[in-house]
Amino acid sequence: MSQKKKMPAGRKHNRKGMSTFRQHKRSIVIIFTVLGIMAAMLAVNSVNLYARNQIYKQQEAELKAQIEEQNIRSEKVDEYKEYVKTDDYIKDVAEEKLGLVDPNEILFRPEE
C-alpha cells in the first residue's frame, strides 16, 4: 500500500474544490457588484421621486386654493343672479343708466 499524506481533521480540501471555490468567489463578487449598482440606482430614483412628489403636493395645494377661489366667485355670481331678478336692481339701472326718477323725487342738477 502506498502511503498518503493525511490532512489534519477538519481540513479536507482537494484541488478541484479550491478551483470551484474560486469560480464561485468570482460569481459572488459579480452578483454583489450588480446588486450594489442596482441599490445605488434605486436610491437615486427614490430621491428623484421624492422631489417630484413634493412638487406635486405643492401644485395640489395651489389647485385647491384656486378651487376655493372659484367656489367663492360662483357664490357671488349666484347672489348677483338673484339680485338681478329683484325690483331694486331694475330701479338702480333705471336711475343710473336712463336717468329716470320716482314720481315723488326731486332731481337737482348742477348748472352747466
- 104: confidence class by pLDDT, cuts 50, 70, 90: confident
- Provide the percentage of residues in the chain whose pLDDT is more than 70: 79
Please tell me the pTM assigned to this model.
0.50
Q: What is the C-alpha separation between 112 and 101, in angstroms, rounded?
A: 20
Grid cell, residue 90, equals 331694475
Which residues make Cβ contacts (< 8 Å) with residue 100, sequence separation at least 6? 94
pLDDT at 72 over 80: yes
Task: Tell which wins on pLDDT, 99 or 7.
Answer: 99
Q: Which pLDDT tens digit goes with each residue over 25-66?
A: 888 999 999 999 999 999 999 999 999 999 999 999 999 999
- What is the DSSP annotation of 64-97? HHHHHHHHHHHHHHHHHHHHHTSHHHHHHHHHHH
Grid cell, residue 44, equals 437615486
Give the pLDDT confidence score for residue 111 in this predicted structure: 79
Q: What is the C-alpha separation between 42 and 36, in angstroms, rounded?
A: 10
Grid cell, residue 13, equals 480540501
- 11: confidence class by pLDDT, cuts 50, 70, 90: low
Q: Which pLDDT tens digit goes with each residue over 81-98?
A: 999 999 899 888 888 888
